[in-house]
Amino acid sequence: MNKITTRQIFKNACELVVSSGKYVKSAHIASTKPSSDNKESFADLVTEYDRGTEKLLIGQLSRCYPAHKFIAEEMVADGGECNLTNEPTWIIDPIDGTTNFVHGFPAYCISVGFFVEKDPVLGIVYDIPNDKIYSAIKGEGAFCNGRVIKCSSTTDLNSSLLAAGFGPQRKTDFLRFKMGIMNTLVEKCHGIRCIGSAALDICHVAAGYIDANVQFGPHIWDYAAAHLIALEAGAVCSAPNGQPMNLLSRKLLVCSTDELRDQIVPLLGDFPLPHD
Ligand code: IPD
Ligand code: CA
Ligand code: CA
Ligand code: CA
């Protein structure tokens, strides 16, 4: 795919993401708390806005690019395929941070990644309440509202600020395991923040607001876009063995600089998959 075409696709996708964000914003104008249903646990929420945003995005993108494929959270929840092939594929999280969205906590976003031959080509994460668009086109750097962003230059875990994402799984064994890792990490850093959006956490690493992020078993749609933004900002996304992350693996994810990754990885055990 040549650069002009990629840029046109990027521009088109950015406009679409921002206009879908207006629809998400309308929820809090219409009522104080959008109503929600449960998915796999009482803490796993979905709203009409998750489904509506996804429909808007897929509808518009498939009209523009009829041959393109889609992997999207609510589509997969309804039995759709989660299979990344060589075909041009959009990977969509219509609202990342649904729990925040429901409660009115201002940390949720729309995440849209585009892959060709299984490689990320572009990533857009729209932080709706803060009106910030994090974005990247492969090889062209990472941006927030058009300004270049870079990950932090902190090299010492003892001087770092971390973020963690727990996921909606509420089984005691997994929670104990996650708390064990958090305990180990918090002893070695300045603090751990849990804002409840994997895509924003990773964009915050890209922007240097935090130094590292640990996510417990994220889905591909949680970080398909943010992953490219982080890479373009100079960060790495690693599996618990320190190797580059396979986006479909649902392993524990570490997003940080190389130096911090090398200090965090030895502190992690081998993480069992959340659906084991
Ligand atoms: C969730 C958020 C949360 C992370 C979970 C994700 P959702 O996504 O990113 O921070 O810890 O693993 O499932 O359900 O709000 O799109
Ligand atoms: Ca969800
Ligand atoms: Ca998500
Ligand atoms: Ca979501």
**Domain interval for residue 245:** 157-267
Query: Can you tell me which atom of ligand 1 is nearest the CA of 165?
Result: 11
Q: What is the mean pLDDT of residues 65-78?
A: 97
Looking at ligand 1, which residue's alpha carbon is closest to its atom 5? 167
To test ligand 1's pocket by mutation, which of 91, 197, 219 has the most ligand atoms within 8 angstroms of CB? 197
State pTM to two decimals: 0.95
Q: Does residue 270 have a pLDDT over 80? A: no
- Examine the residue annotation and report whether 96 is marked as an active-site residue of this protein: yes
Which tens digit of pLDDT belongs to each residue from 200-258?
999 999 999 999 999 999 999 999 999 999 999 999 999 988 888 889 988 889 999 99
Q: What is the pLDDT of residues 8-23, one digit of tens each?
A: 999 999 999 999 999 9
Query: Do residues 139 and 145 lie in contact, with contact meaning Cβ atoms separated by under 8 Å?
Result: no
ipTM higher than 0.95? yes
In a domain, 58, yes or no: yes
Q: What's phi and psi for 219, nearest 5 deg? A: -85, 160
Complete DSSP assignment for 188-230: TSSEEE--S-HHHHHHHHHTTSSSEEEESS--HHHHHHHHHHH
| Residue 115 φ then ψ, to 5° | -120, 145
Same structural domain for residues 22 and 98? Answer: yes
Residue 226 to residue 198: CA distance in whole angstroms: 8
Residue 171: what pLDDT? Answer: 86
3-state SS assignment for residue 158: helix
Q: Is 93 a catalytic residue?
A: yes
Question: 266, 264, 272: which is closest to 186 by C-alpha?
Answer: 264
Task: Evaluate: CB of 274 within 6 angstroms of ligand 1.
Answer: no
The whole-angstrom separation of Cα 105 and Cα 274 is: 26
Separation of first and last alpha carbons in the chain: 38
Does the annotation mark 58 as catalytic? no
Q: Which residue is listed with tokens 């060709």? A: 116
Q: Are residues 175 and 263 in the same domain?
A: yes
Residue 275 within a domain: no
In angstroms, the CA 263 to CA 87 distance is 37
Q: Is 187 a catalytic residue?
A: no
Q: Which of 50, 54, 96, 232 is catalytic?
A: 96
The whole-number average pLDDT for the span 68-95 is 97
Q: What are the residues facing 130 on neighbouring strands? A: none
Q: Does residue 73 have an active-site annotation?
A: yes
44-72 burial code (b ≥16 CB/10 A, e <16) = bbbbebbbbbbebbbebbeeeeeebbbbb
Residue 167 domain-assigned (yes or no): yes
Phi/psi for 149 (5° steps) reads -120, 150
Instruction: Please state, as a whole number, how many other Cβ atoms lie within 10 Å of the Cβ of residue 190.
Output: 13
Ligand 2 centre to CA of 163 (Å) is 19
Residue 142 and residue 85 share a domain: yes
Ligand minimally distant from the alpha carbon of residue 203:
1
Residues annotated in a binding site for Mg(2+): 73, 93, 95-96, 222
Within this chain, do residues 144 and 171 fall inside the same structural domain, yes or no?
Answer: no
**Do 7 and 144 reside in the same domain of the chain?**
yes
pLDDT given at position 231? 98
Distance, CA 95 to ligand 4 centroid (Å)? 4
